[in-house]
Structure 1
Amino acid sequence: MRPANPDSDSSEASPAQAESASLVRVLIVLRRRWRIALVVFALTLTCGALYTFSQKKVYRPQASLEIRPERNTVATVHDQAQYVDTYLWESYYRTQQNILSSPGLAEATIKALPPGLKARYEGLGGTQAFAGNVDLEQVRASFILKVGFPDTDAEASTQIVNTLISVYLDDANRRMRELKSNAANTLSKETLPDIRKAITAAEAGLAEFQASSGFVDFEDRTNSYRSGWNKSNERLTEVRLKRIRLAAEYKSLVDYGSDGSSGLFNPSFHQIRALEQLGQERVHIAEQIASESQRLKDGHPRMIDLKAQLASVEAKIREAVQGCLLALQNDLKAAESEETALGEEVKRLEAQMAETGNSLRRFRRLQEELTANKELYASYLKRQGETSATAGTGTQSVRILDPAKPPPSPWKPNNRQNLIIAAFLGLLLSGGSVLVAEQLDNRILSPDEVRAFVGMEVLAAIPRLRGAGGEEVFVLGDKSSIPELESFRAVRAQIVTRLERLGSPAVGRAYVLSVLSPLPGEGKTTIAANLARVLALEGRRVLLFDADLRKPRLHALLKTSDGPGLSEVLAGKADLKSAARPSVIPGVDIVGVRTGVSSAAELASSPRFAEALKSARETYDFVILDSAPVIQASESALIARRADAAILVLREGRTGRGAARAAKNALIEMGVTVLGAVLNAAELNRGAYGYGYGYGYGYAEEKKGSAQGIEA
């Protein structure tokens, strides 16, 4: 079973870990791009400062006005005009604002200015420019309006503001005096005479109506009719109920008139004393008949006499019942007659009440009309007196709270505000420039970037391999005490340690390590060859397996070019033992390929490739597969799956973060165990490298002449 990938991203990372990783990325980007950010910030702040300090100083003196709607000087608490400011003051306020910034007031103000200031606004467009420069500022939740006039001359703008509000108040007072004078004339000549005529007409109409009605008190008459109507209606209700009761009794008793004995059982007949005695007598005779019938026959004289007595008593009972019915019928007729009379009386009273009510309403309407005209006359008369008394005064709705004074400091430019805005804008632009720079250039420049952006541990950072003349070499020379060789020893230590953690191979089987890179030209073959060399220094039998079937390079390290290669092994023309030949690297054999093949993907997945790899495991202690670039060759991940683990070679200053992540994810998705990354061509003297990536300790005396490379 393949072990878990040590460098795979945890799907259950805590939010704190994710936040920490994001912070690390930000710090790395800032460390990498701080010069760009600083330059952009400094340029923005400098431009803001130049703009601010190059602007002309503008002063804005302000005068404070209190503006309220006009109210009566003399008024009562019941005067609704006192509450006009509660509902209409905002409209009045806006009107005064428009007047203050109107061209008409601007023209009058210009005429009132001293000659020196007047000349600035004379000519075409001067009035409009003056009106447009008037600055109005409303103080929230108050009746206060601040009037200003921005200008480069503080004294001149102060004089303009004071002249403006002076002209405004003079004009407002003039208009108010004219308004009050016109109102007083209208009241005295038109409004009050018309109201007086209406009062006279209302008094005449009321007097005429009272004379025609006999000066009757309609309210008393209406109350009298209403009292009589109530009594008659109550009596009518009583009589109607009585008539209904008598009719019901008569209807229920009329059926008893033909049967004297049955009438005894109706409750209405119990009030007749004669019937009570006759009933008792009838009961007594009936009891005798019942007693004698048990021993006498019906034809017996005694029985005949008793029956004759019974018939006589029942005849008397019928006569009494008929008399009772007749009396009840008479009572019913009397009740009906009284009900009819009372109904007619109620109708008569209702008609009189309606007529009197109409007269009362007309009387009240005439009286209310007269009262309303008198109150209106009194109100306008009071208004006339107030208007006449205040005709010489000006407006009371506007007053000056504070006149304009020369301001001690300019209104514009606001240096502090502009510099703060420039600094904030500089931060935004510097952040944007850093983001743009990261999008345009995301090359890996340090091991920290590999950990933060790719999510892989860096096994070691390998410097550029150079010979004695400074030229780049493929494989280091024989002397192993140079710093470059120490970096490969660090890679060896990391790889061996991590492979041992994954598990020891079976007896007689070698470790198989795949060396890959995201793209070509990143030094995977160089890393593979030099890693094989340092492994061989430990006495291991090492095989370099050229698994890059498209562009092979390891055949250049063979001592001789004769003999079969991997192509012959995969074609079945040779075995691995004959194809593995000594190389120029001591202790390292190579299975090379002379030329690239077009069917690399098919050959890599063939059984013969697996058989060759199996044979290599049985023969050597360590097998290193130099595979093709992961992103460009589909067979790379397949070959890496056959290995125990893989390392990813990244070239500093060339490999992009996206390519590195894509290669890593492609390997992980195929189930490849990635031990980590090797950062090739690293500049170890760069500030991004801390302790752990400098491999020159203790070799200062030996550096001279020690970097002779093995020429491939």
Structure 2
Amino acid sequence: MAAPRKPEHLLTNSPPHAELATVQPTLYLSKVEPGRLLGVIIRRGWLVILGMLLAVGAMWLYVKSAPKIYVSTGSVEVSSHAPDPLRIEGLTQQDTKDLEQLRTIEGNMVSTAVLLRVAKENGLLTATDFAPPGTTEQGVIGMLSKRVRVELKRGTRVVAISVEDTDPARAKRLVESLVTEYQAWIRERRETVTKEMGEGLAKEEQKLREQMGVAEVRLQAFREQHPVPGLDEREGAGPVSGQLGNLNTQLSQAKSERLRLEAEYEAFKKFDPEDPDALAGIGRSTYADEVLAQARALQAKELEFSRVKERYLHKHPGYKEVAQEVETLKADLAEASRSAGEALEKSYHVAMENEAKLQGEVDQARTVAVGVEGVRAKFDSLKREAEAARELHASVDKRLRESNLAGALAASAITWAEPPLVPEKASKPVKMVLFPVAAFAGMLGGLVLMVGLEVGDGRVRDSADAARATGTPLLTSLPVMQPGREGDMVLLSDPASSEAEAFRRLRAVLLPAPGKPGARTVLFTSAVPGEGRSLCAMNYAASLAMQGQRTLLLDADMRRPGLSRQHVNGEGRGLGAYLAGDCDPASACFPTALPNLYLLSSGPIRGDAAELLSGTRFAALLEDAYRWFDAVVIDSPPVLAVSDALAVSRYADRVCLIVRQDASDRRNLKKTSELLRSSGGNLIGFVWNEHSFRGKGNSAPEPVIPVSHPALSSSGVAVADGPAVKGEEAAPTSPIA
């Protein structure tokens, strides 16, 4: 072996540094992926088709066995006024223009009382094709109410009625019976109200008849006790009232005459014949007319005398004649005024005497009339009582007769608008609706089942799903290998294949950065067995060796040896024996057929593998290996099967998780990644193995490393006849020893 190198890497238990590039925080969240949806549809789409077929078949069986339902329809019109020739208020609702009244009619037509009458009328209580035997009246009414629909058409006075039944003829009869029984129910209610009202009116009529008789008897007795003439007549029509009225009229006339004469007399007393202006105060009467005539004659003569004075002197005969006539007229005027005054005075005294007499007669007649009016007031009161009792009795008696007649002439406010007909075709079940609905329901159920199975199925089917489960990026995808080549070292058997290129990509991804030359240990593990970790470890180590790096492939699976199972048969050397202190590692390290690639076998199966890997000798082994090898590739057991991988992961620079299609569960991957991180491992990504998992019964051949025996000696040189490995110069004692 070549001379050892100066150690460039120290093994510590410090938490590994993260080497993942910074990515978006939402990179590993669930996303809607068209490809995945298409895959789900391809894998489980038959569930949707099966659901649709089952639903359509079930609906076909239901339609075939379900009874046919016929619907008979009709409508009635509600009149604005109920036909009532007597217009008796209180017995029926006359005005039906109110919407509440129309709604009341609509509700009453499907009331329990009406439905019970319809059920009895049509024999539904005993009809076995309508209700099962033993069904109570309440049950039959409930079934009938579900089949009957009464609805007031909006904006109209028409009430639409429809009834569903298996018998088309009976459906028509039920519509007709619903209207007929409603009218009969209303008529019975009206008759009940009429009867109750008639009984009350009859009692009231009997009572009023008795009161009317008592009032008539009292009025007749009063009339007999007070035989006053004209007692039944109105005020002023009787003799006493007429006489008093005449006297009052005469008294008024006498008083007026007396006042007129008094005024005329006072005017004559103040009259001055010498003063012509005094004539203005005299009224118009017989006496006044005579005096006024004398006064006008005097004035005319004086006017004539004034003209004579202008023509003649006082000694002229014409002058004297006219002067004599003036004096004569003055004397006549004075005499006439005196005579008129005396006559007026006599007439005035006569008028006063006449007024006094009439006043006495009026006072006497008024005294008599007061007594008669008291009797008349009492009589009028009794008469009014008798008339009121008579009128009230007549009104109640008329109302009683009208109510009895109204009960006999009761009429309904509804009339047929569209009489029902016998339906020719069944309305239910509706095949044109049920089958599409069934197909849609089946499709929906199939989709729900498909989604449920997909969600419940935790198997990882694509790399995106694995990235979300592990929280790490994809390192590379391993395509499906040809049958029989699942355990080959493809970099040697088929270097130009896509599988070989996939491992080259993995080498490029896991290549340490220039600033970190010490990151040389890569651990390959998986969540469960059979995911291809040994294949990936072997080919990755081969890619490093082909690049010129001395690579140690360490098989750390001491419970089920894989890579080195053909090299431990019959030998007790191996990793387990070294960790237990039974041998040196050089005796278990074998060169392989590929230059620069060495295999450190796991040795025989051991039950204390976890304790041995957790000890200090494994760390010392790795520390010495870094002096002789450029890279160390570790193949460890599954994480969830045993705890060996967790004990080893803390010493690896990088941990690579192998995820196989349909082999891993999402929960297992999440748990595996959490365990690796919590144990101190630096999980940097995963390899997606597209080769589908086929189970234990049909598993692919596991990889085996071809090695050249014997093992290395303590000097680092192979012992045997085989070809010598690299390292011609003598080397010091191997540090692995």
Contact 2:524 2:656 in 1 (8 A): yes
SS at match of 1:390: helix
Contact 1:512 1:617 in 2 (8 A): no
- Provide the residue aligned with 2:679 in structure 1: 670
Deviates more, 1:371-380 or 1:55-64: 371-380
More helix by share: 1
Give the counterpart of 2:148 among 107, 123, 136: 136
Distance 1:43 1:559 in 2: 59
- Provide the residue aligned with 2:555 in structure 1: 546
Residue 532 of structure 1 deviates from its aligned partner by 1.8
1:514 aligns to 2:523 (yes or no): yes
Residue 58 of structure 1 deviates from its aligned partner by 2.0
1:168 aligns to 2:184 (yes or no): no
Distance 2:597 2:21 in 1: 29
Residue 616 of structure 1 deviates from its aligned partner by 2.1
Distance 1:119 1:489 in 2: 81
Contact 2:656 2:686 in 1 (8 A): yes
Residue 620 of structure 1 deviates from its aligned partner by 1.8
Q: Which aligned pairs between 1:23-34 and structure 2 lie closer than 5 A?
A: 29-34=40-45
Q: Which aligned pairs between 1:52-131 and structure 2 lie closer than 5 A?
A: 52=63, 55-65=66-76, 73=84, 96-98=109-111, 102=115, 104-109=117-122
1:621 aligns to 2:630 (yes or no): yes
Contact 1:21 1:452 in 2 (8 A): no
Contact 2:20 2:684 in 1 (8 A): yes
1:505 aligns to 2:516 (yes or no): yes
- Provide the residue aligned with 2:427 in structure 1: 411
Distance 2:148 2:418 in 1: 15
- Provide the residue aligned with 1:394 in structure 2: 410
- 1:422-455 CA distances to partner (integer Å, 9 max, x unpaired)? 2443244213422453366432333344245554
SS at match of 2:75: strand
- 1:670-703 CA distances to partner (integer Å, 9 max, x unpaired)? 343323222336159xxxxxxxxxxxxxxxxxxx
Distance 2:387 2:20 in 1: 104
Distance 2:52 2:21 in 1: 38
Distance 1:98 1:36, change over 3 A: same
Give the counterpart of 2:445 among 411, 429, 452: 429
- Provide the residue aligned with 1:565 in structure 2: 574
User: Match of 2:493, as an amino acid?
Assistant: K
- Provide the residue aligned with 1:462 in structure 2: 478
Find the structure with the greater CA-based Rg: 2
Distance 1:710 1:180, change over 3 A: closer
- Provide the residue aligned with 2:164 in structure 1: 150
Give the counterpart of 1:39 among 40, 47, 50: 50
- Provide the residue aligned with 1:494 in structure 2: 506
SS at match of 1:149: strand
Residue 647 of structure 1 deviates from its aligned partner by 1.4
Distance 1:678 1:553, change over 3 A: same
Residue 30 of structure 1 deviates from its aligned partner by 4.2
Identity of aligned residues (%): 23
* TM-score using structure 1 length: 0.58
SS at match of 1:678: strand
Contact 1:25 1:453 in 2 (8 A): no
Give the counterpart of 2:31 among 20, 39, 62: 20
* TM-score using structure 2 length: 0.56
SS at match of 2:493: coil
- Provide the residue aligned with 2:494 in structure 1: 480
Residue 557 of structure 1 deviates from its aligned partner by 5.8
Distance 1:397 1:418 in 2: 41
SS at match of 2:535: helix
Q: Which aligned pairs between 1:563-602 and structure 2 lie closer than 5 A?
A: 564-572=573-581, 576-577=585-586, 579-602=588-611
User: Match of 2:637, as an amino acid?
Assistant: A
List gaps (5 residues or longer) in structure 1: 112-117, 206-368, 685-707
Contact 1:187 1:384 in 2 (8 A): no
Residue 18 of structure 1 deviates from its aligned partner by 4.7
How many aligned residue pairs are there?
510
User: Match of 1:592, as an amino acid?
Assistant: S
Distance 1:623 1:577 in 2: 15
- Provide the residue aligned with 2:652 in structure 1: 643
Give the counterpart of 2:620 among 583, 595, 611: 611
- Provide the residue aligned with 2:462 in structure 1: 446
Distance 1:95 1:387 in 2: 24
Distance 1:435 1:643, change over 3 A: same
- Provide the residue aligned with 1:51 in structure 2: 62
SS at match of 1:520: coil
Contact 1:71 1:82 in 2 (8 A): yes
Distance 2:132 2:605 in 1: 90
Distance 1:49 1:629 in 2: 54
- 1:548-585 CA distances to partner (integer Å, 9 max, x unpaired)? 23323232365998694323432445555554321345
- Provide the residue aligned with 1:315 in structure 2: none
Q: Which aligned pairs between 1:207-226 and structure 2 lie closer than 5 A?
A: none
SS at match of 2:604: coil
Contact 1:48 1:422 in 2 (8 A): yes
SS at match of 1:515: strand
SS at match of 1:682: coil
Contact 1:158 1:404 in 2 (8 A): no
Distance 1:625 1:193, change over 3 A: same
Aligned CA RMSD, in angstroms, stands at 5.2
